[in-house]
Chains A and B, each alone.
Chain A
């Protein structure tokens, strides 16, 4: 029986991008459905009734949600190629730790860099840079967090790079001068088709945010 795979997503979502990259890495054919988050489809509400959020992976009519959980599911089901997690339990636990760190810090701090003002914004930008630098230390001399090829942490983290123009332009600060190693890593990831096809262009994301702010009446 052929696998039926559907991804409920929203194109600027970094969480959705994670799943796109993973499915591409594994060579899984799937149907992409872009949701209108202001008018959620019955399918979304039915497949993720608890959070009503994207991404949701529907595999042979069974729904999996929460992007990091989806990544692990994909890695376990399509285990014949491109492993995302290392097989060694200790290295696997470290990869999960850093993916969890990305979840706890990068999204919220990234958001604060451009949605807050004054002292709060300054503090968020400072902490954001510190977190990126910590990730640079974790990366070390490796081309990717996963080693010679992209892995779990790379997939969890690189989508936020597509939001960097939003952070920098709307937040009025610069990331590259402080974190050149991180930028180099992100560009290296983008050399992989699975990543370049899954991440929207930074300017496109920025235009979308500016448009949305106008619509919501926020300057």
Chain B
């Protein structure tokens, strides 16, 4: 399949875009990466995702697919001959989707709260929330991985990709806050998982450089704080 058949509109810091890139790498799909500039949205993006105007957008034969987890599932189905991303058992699929949804709906918003916390007390409360979430994910990891390296077992799967997309931001949060969110005492499984995931061939070349991400996060956090502090209309 020609490289131009598959395009991904995205940006290097986005955890959601990273999910799509890892999935494409798992399937060894060649694609054109169309990098958006922060602060402006390309015409192609606005045309391909008119409803949300957000990245990532996968363009397959010029047909757009939006929402990162929907993109990952699409990739899994279309390139079916490659390694499977979702498990084949319906119950295991439901569990993987459940935790991916938890990461998106509960855990990541708590992570963002750490960044925009206006004072120390708020920050501490947010850190507690994130840590509680990680405890749940650690428990899930122990159950689902069954002693293997990844949520997907020997190979990275849907939940590895869904959660792993945030690994860079997790590291930046740890660095900026001087906190060890993944640690030997509370999250030994995830601590090892994180290293295995980051080193995985489908991940290592697309995982953003932590230093670069930390610099970028300063810009983003300033924007988020300004938006949070702005008086509600």
A: residues with CB less than 8 A from B are 50, 59, 62, 64-66, 69-70, 72-73, 76-77, 89-90, 92-94, 96-97, 100-101, 119, 134
Contact = CB atoms under 8 A, between A and B. Distances in A.
Nearest to B101: A66
Contacts of B233: 119
B60 interface: yes
B222 interface: no
Contact of B65 (A59, A93, A119): A93
Q: Shortest 5 CB-CB distances between A and B: which pairs?
A: A76-B90, A89-B77, A93-B74, A73-B94, A64-B94
Given A50-B136, A134-B51, A97 B66 contact: yes
Interface of B: 51, 60, 63, 65-67, 70-71, 73-74, 77-78, 90-91, 93-94, 97-98, 101-102, 136, 233
A89 B65 CA distance: 10
A64 B96 CA distance: 11
B98 A66 contact: yes
21 contacts: A50-B102, A50-B136, A59-B91, A64-B98, A66-B97, A69-B97, A69-B98, A72-B93, A72-B94, A73-B90, A73-B94, A76-B93, A77-B90, A90-B63, A93-B73, A93-B74, A94-B65, A96-B67, A97-B65, A97-B70, A100-B67
Contact of A89 (B66, B74, B94, B97): B74
Contacts of A66: 97-98, 101
B90 A100 contact: no
B65 A101 contact: no
A94 B93 CA distance: 19
A64 B101 contact: no
Nearest to B90: A76
Classify the secondary structure of B's interface with A: helix
Classify the secondary structure of A's interface with B: helix
A73 B97 CA distance: 10
B70 to A, nearest CB: 5
Contacts of B77: 89, 92
A100 B65 CA distance: 13
Nearest to B71: A93
A6 B65 CA distance: 35
A69 B70 contact: no
A86 to B, nearest CB: 11
B70 A93 contact: yes
A65 B90 CA distance: 13
Contact of B70 (A59, A100, A119): A100
A61 B102 CA distance: 22
Nearest to A95: B70
